[in-house]
Each structure stands twice: as structure tokens, then as C-alpha cells.
Amino acid sequence: MEISKGIYAVGGLNNKTAVFFNKTTDPVHSTFKPNITDSLIGGKWLPWGESNLYPQEFAEKLKKTNIAIGGLEVLTAAHFGTGFRLYQGTETEEAIIFKERLVDSFPDIAAFYYRTNFNITLAEIITDYEVFRVAFPEYLLSPNGDQIISVRRIKAADCRFQTPDPNGIINNIGVNTDWEKYDEKKTTVIPCFNANIPVEEIKAYCKQKGIRKFTIPVIDTLLVEKSYPSVGWHASFKNGWVDVVLSIPAFKKAMFEQQLNIKYLIHVSDEYFSHIYGQDWSLFSPEERQKKRTELVDLIHDNLQGNQAGGKSIISPFFIDRSTGKEIKGIQIDEVPQTQSNGDFLLDGSAANYEILTAMGIDPCLISGGAFGGKTLSGSGSDKREAWTILCAKLPIKQIRTLQIFEIIKIWNSWDLTVFGKFPNINLTTLDKNKNGQEKVVN
């Protein structure tokens, strides 16, 4: 069965701005012409970001942003749930009942599952998808093309789409671990198809063309983008909120390093020494006088610091200035305010953290990342349960994309069509409803 190349990544026949992957020729889009510009990498790869290093630059900033790291862990953990599980559907007169099944109940599926470390592979793909909203599973075929014998994750940051052909069709992706120093010889070319293409058509095409490995990108619906999706929660990295978060630790560090860290300012009148040493004070050399002053300051310092200073008193005599009649303190100790401990900019940082988590769709109480000093800093148990439930309720629209990997393999390998993959989650509950404080939820 002949299959030509081309389908939109977005789908939708009225959208003429999107890029599409291998499929049947679509006459509506046959006049689409790619914009060939000098920005193409090696003349044939679509750059990801202005510098073609958007994934690398974003990851560099991400690993310094504590709140985003915590938020991303929540997103990936919720998406993966308790891991990939098999369910089999049974139709009754009242409804369709789904029952969880052991992988070992299906020998062909079990052999594939264990051979490919399928759960780990899916976890890695989910991480790419949650970070970049695009992931690249690579399917490896048997020598005759009848079976998908393996699937693995190609690191999304290493992948670039090939420039569309004159019909606006993306035929391949390029995989390179160092796009900054692009070398065509070190770039692996892999055919790619769209998930909307019937699996039977892809299978027939791969047999005809001798293709033994390919990718079907797991990609979000494109809006105005032409190739790589724009991730909603990356907005905080572009609009300056992440810069606010990152600037505060650097500012605080510089303030601690540069500020004069003096706890006490000790004033000692020379009248004190004249009173203590009498006429001998006038006979001391300048060096001896300075030594006596230093000994006194050290003595006071030793008695002011540490736990042993708790509850101690220092007695200091008063003197009368003979010329003015004013009272003079022999020793006066003033505490120097520690301005670095006043919490400057912490509220700004908390506001920035809140903006970052809002873009990620995460309630701050799930990672104790709310407003500084506010109620939502940690949240009650009910807050956390409801926040987790709401987050999990929004997962199916994302999970249908990553679970499509199993559907493709199932159809290609002619496995039981009544079997489906799911990512069950744990829904927190109260002890009066469940002694374990949790229950399994399957979206």
C-alpha cells in the first residue's frame, strides 16, 4: 500500500500554518511552502528557539530554580501515578467494566514489557513531555517489519525537526547530542510519523520502504507555532518571574559577604583606666596602654558571646567630667542592628514562586510553596487532598498522548484489543474512609 508523506502535527484541515508529518497527501495543504531562511541548521534542520539551543538554555535555568524543580516533580509524579497498568474492558448491558490485569496474563505483552523496561521508558518519556510538551519515542521493528520489538526514549533536547519539503511535510528528525557545535556526520536521521495516521498505513509504508526504526512524536496541540510547542508554564521563565527568584539568593549572598558583621560596639572611656590603675596609668607607655585596652575588650567580648554569657552582668563605673559636670560612662556597650535578618525581598520571592506554580497548574500547598508567612505556605490536610484531586482530574488530556505509545504497539503487534494501558493514581483520603488514608483512582 503506497503512502505518501504528510500530515499536520496539529490536525485540522483548516489550519494552514502548522507543520505536518508523514501521511497521505492533503490537497488543501499541497501549496504550503516552507520558509527557507539562513536560520536553518545545516540547511535542513528547524532551529528550536532563536539560537537552536532553547532546550539546553531552559534546562540550565530550570536546574537553578528550586520552586520549578519541585513543581516539575509534582507534574511528572502525578502524570506517571503508580506506573503503567493493564486494564481489560468487558461490556455488559449496563456499562463497560474495566478490570486490572496482570501483565503476565498476556505472554506477548509480558515479554515486551520486561524486555524493554517499559515502565522506566514511559517515565523518561513523561519527563520530556512535561518539560517540553514534546517527546520522541523510537520504535524498533523486527527484520520483517511485522512486530515492534522495542521502544526507547530519544532525549527530546537532542532532537530537531527536518525542514518541510515543498509540500510542507516533515519527513525526519535529526538527533545530535551537541547542536551548539553542529556536525552533520554526528547527526542521526530518523523517519517520523504523526500519531493520527492509522497504524496499518505506517506499518505498510515501513515494510515497503525498508524502514526498521522510526519515531511518532508525543506532542501537544500547536496553536500558532509551526514546529515546536510553546509550553504554557515556561511563561514565568520568559516574563521575568524566574529572574526575580534567581536574583534574590545572589543578592542575599552578596549582602552577607559584604556587610560589616559586628554584633556589639564597645565604648571605653580613658577615665575608666585612670580610675582602675590610678597614677600608674599616666606612667604607662602608649604600647602598654593599648595592651590594657585590648585586654579589657577581649574580656568583655568573651563574656558576651556564646551560651555561657546568658544571664551575666557587666558592672561599669560612672564618672563626672570636672569641666562640664556631665556624667561619663566608663564602659558603654551598644548592639549593632543586623539588617540582613530583616527579611527584605522574601515577599517578592514568594510572589514570584506563586506565579511560577500558577503557570504550572500546581497548588502551592502541594510543595509548601505558598506566600511567605501566609496560610497557604503549607496548607491543611484537606487543602492538600483537594489540590491533589484537582490536579489528577486534569491529567487524562495529557495521558492520552503518552498512553498512545502502548496503543500503537498493541495494534502493530496484534495484541488483544480489549486491553488498555492506564496510569492509576493514589487519591489521598481520611482515615475514617480508608485505614490506609488512600485509595486508587483510575482516570
Distance CA 101, CA 103 (A): 6
- Report pLDDT for 16: 34
Domain map (residue ranges) of the chain: 7-230+380-441, 262-304+313-337
- Report pLDDT for 194: 86
Contact of 216 with 193, CB cutoff 8 Å: yes
CB burial of 104-116 (b: ≥16 within 10 Å; e: otherwise) equals eebeebeebbeeb
- Report pLDDT for 423: 95
Cα→Cα distances 307→145, 311, 336, 354, Å: 77, 9, 19, 39
- Per the DSSP assignment, residues forming a β-bridge with 98 are 89
Distance CA 86, CA 102 (A): 7
Those residues with Cβ within 8 angstroms of residue 359's Cβ, 6 or more apart along the chain or in another chain: 232, 233, 234, 235, 236
- Report pLDDT for 440: 62
What 3-state DSSP class applies to 175? strand
Those residues with Cβ within 8 angstroms of residue 349's Cβ, 6 or more apart along the chain or in another chain: 244, 245, 248, 372
pLDDT digits (tens, 9 = 90+) for 325-367: 777 777 777 777 666 555 566 677 788 888 899 899 998 888 8
What are phi and psi for residue 221, nearest 5 degrees?
A: -65, 130
Model confidence, pTM:
0.73
What are phi and psi for residue 89, nearest 5 degrees?
A: -95, 135
CA geometry: angle at 262 spanning 258 and 268, to 5°? 145
- For the chain, the maximum distance between any two Cα atoms, rounded to a whole number of angstroms, is 116
pLDDT digits (tens, 9 = 90+) for 9-36: 333 333 333 445 555 443 333 233 444 4
Cα→Cα distances 135→125, 246, 272, Å: 6, 28, 78
Q: Which residues of the chain have pLDDT under 70?
A: 1-38, 255-262, 304-316, 321-322, 337-346, 369-380, 428-443
